[in-house]
Amino acid sequence: MASGLRRGTLEFCVLAMVELEDRYGTEIVRRLAEEQSLAATEGTIYPLLSRLRRGGMLDSKWAESPSGPPRRYYSLTPAGRSALAHFRTEWVSFRQTVDRLVGTGEIA
């Protein structure tokens, strides 16, 4: 699949991961890298987290961990929350259109 489409949607997977609770970097990175079809190597997700933070979608703060080194926790900002909500509506209609045109829908 086009890498642009992959990377363009990956950031919303990141936002969705911290929607309900704050998570630390390694946790987010591990989870997304597990998904084969996302084809995201762990190390490439940190620059993405950095961009989302710089763009005001995420907030981050370092915190001590009960065991091991300090963790950097990410949380969703109000801007990130509305971007995610907007993506959800757009994605559904985008997916339906592509399915209809490419013939990949359930009723092809």
Partner 1 sequence: MKPNQTDVVGEYLHEVDRRLSGLPLLQRRELLADLAAHIETERTERNVRSEGELLEILERLGSPDVVAAAAYEEAGPPPAVNQQPYAAAAPPFGAAAPPPYAATPPFSAPARGNAKRLGWIIAAVAAVAVLLLLCFGLALARGDSSEPAPSVTRPPVPERHS
- Spatial neighbors of 30 by CB under 8 A, at least 6 apart, are 42
Residue 28 CB, shortest distance to partner 1, in Å, is 10
Q: Which is nearer to partner 1, 51 or 61 (CB)?
A: 51
- Pick the stretch among 20-28, 83-91, 93-101 that binds partner 1 (CB under 8 A): 20-28
Instruction: Tell me the C-alpha distance between 100 and 107, whole Å.
Output: 9
Positions in 36-95 near partner 1 (CB under 8 A): 41-44, 46-51, 54, 65, 67-72
Q: What long-range pairs does 36-41 form, CB within 8 A, spacing at least 24?
A: 37/1, 38/6, 38/10, 38/13, 39/3, 39/6, 40/6, 40/10
Query: Per CB under 8 A, does 29 bind partner 1?
Result: yes
Instruction: Tell me the C-alpha distance between 36 and 38, whole Å.
Output: 5
Query: Per CB under 8 A, does 23 bind partner 1?
Result: no
Query: Per CB under 8 A, does 25 bind partner 1?
Result: yes
Residues in touch with partner 1 (CB under 8 A): 7, 24-26, 29, 33, 41-44, 46-51, 54, 65, 67-72
